Amino acid sequence: MTHRSGFIAIIGRPNVGKSTLLNALLGQKVAAVSPRPQTTRKRQLGILTLDNAQLVFVDTPGIHNAKHKLGEFLNYEAEDSLTGVDLILWLVDASTSPTEEDKNISSLLYGISPRTRRMLVLNKTDLAQPDELSARETEYAALMDKANVMRVSAARRLGLDELTEALIQAVPEREAEYPEDQITDLYEKEIAGDLIREACLIKLRDEVPHGMAVRIDEFKERENGMAYIAATIFVERESQKGIVIGESGKMLKTIGSAARKEIEEMGGRKVFLELRVKVSKDWRNDANMLKQLGYGMKK
């Protein structure tokens, strides 16, 4: 039997559903997801191993108009991920017409080697009427020359089998790169930090902007089989700190409870999670702080 294997970069503007698609394709959660844009801040591999193929997805931050050093790092992570992959999967929101950010991504793709295959995937198709969907496909296809077009709804798991088969046929004949039981390249500690930030974004909604980061200070396995995790949530202003903690610490407890549940589900064991909140003024423009948090760009 012919075996295929390849690296597939998933790119798109913020909040089009890249991490939702990755989790749906893998059949389990490896990437943090929230309704807020820019939930993903670092590239992450998602590895799908099948009988006749291994698809290695590279989930990337949303490409956007950067307004601070953190935004510059996110764009760098996404653009750098396009180098050396076998296929670029451009995910777009089928419920809306192309935005300025989509057009910027189109320009970026035209600068990539024509030898790298491309696929345009319209997501959120369940949110568009059939006639609207055809119009959206025409608009986006005009921005991506000679690309196969697929339609999916990652949230509703529609069209995923057809997409998976198309991806298998698009990658080269090659042996698998990773063991069949490996599903991502991140350690549990790194994913735990993302899940804590995910809980913050979901529970706080619009009360606190994306001026928030999480640092895992301690991650220990205890003799009773539990994991002990201590983490710091950084915000940019004192007023944000009060919102994250909440009255009598209620909001922080709510965030901790939600994050602990997700981490326990990921690791398959009980977790003791200790959270604290600190202010680091304008950390998104502080190069040293960004480096401490793992957002430093390579030279």
The predicted structure's pLDDT at residue 40:
67
The type of residue at 296 is G
pLDDT at 232 over 90: yes
Mean pLDDT of the region 27-39: 71
Lowest mean pLDDT among 33-42, 58-67, 81-90, 185-194: 33-42
Q: Where are the domains of the chain?
A: 4-170, 188-292
The residue written with tokens 């992570």 in the block is: 77
Q: Which CATH superfamily, name and number, covers 4-170?
A: P-loop containing nucleotide triphosphate hydrolases (3.40.50.300)
pTM of the model: 0.83
The predicted structure's pLDDT at residue 39:
63
The residue written with tokens 């979901």 in the block is: 202
Instruction: List pLDDT tens digits, range 269-298.
Output: 899 999 999 999 999 999 999 988 888 766
pLDDT at 267 over 90: no
For 188-292, the fitting CATH number among 3.90.1170.20, 3.30.300.20, 3.60.15.10, 3.50.50.60 is: 3.30.300.20
Mean pLDDT of the region 42-50: 88
Instruction: List pLDDT tens digits, range 55-71.
Output: 999 988 888 877 788 88
| Pair 92, 123: CB distance under 8 Å | yes
The average confidence (pLDDT) of the chain is: 89
Q: What order of strands is seen across the sheet that includes strand 117-123? A: 44-49, 53-59, 4-11, 87-93, 117-123, 148-151
The predicted structure's pLDDT at residue 69:
87
The predicted structure's pLDDT at residue 136:
94
The predicted structure's pLDDT at residue 83:
85
Lowest mean pLDDT among 31-35, 128-132, 286-290: 31-35
The predicted structure's pLDDT at residue 207:
60
The predicted structure's pLDDT at residue 34:
61
The predicted structure's pLDDT at residue 114:
82
| Pair 268, 29: CB distance under 8 Å | no
pLDDT at 104 over 70: yes
Mean pLDDT of the region 7-24: 93
Q: Please, which residues bridge with residue 8 across strands?
A: 57, 87
- CB burial readout 118-145, b (16+ within 10 A) else e: bbbbbbbbeebeeeebeebbeebbebbe
pLDDT at 299 over 60: no
Instruction: Give, in degrees to the nearest 5, the angle at Cα 257 between 253 and 261.
Output: 170
The predicted structure's pLDDT at residue 199:
93
Mean pLDDT of the region 71-90: 87
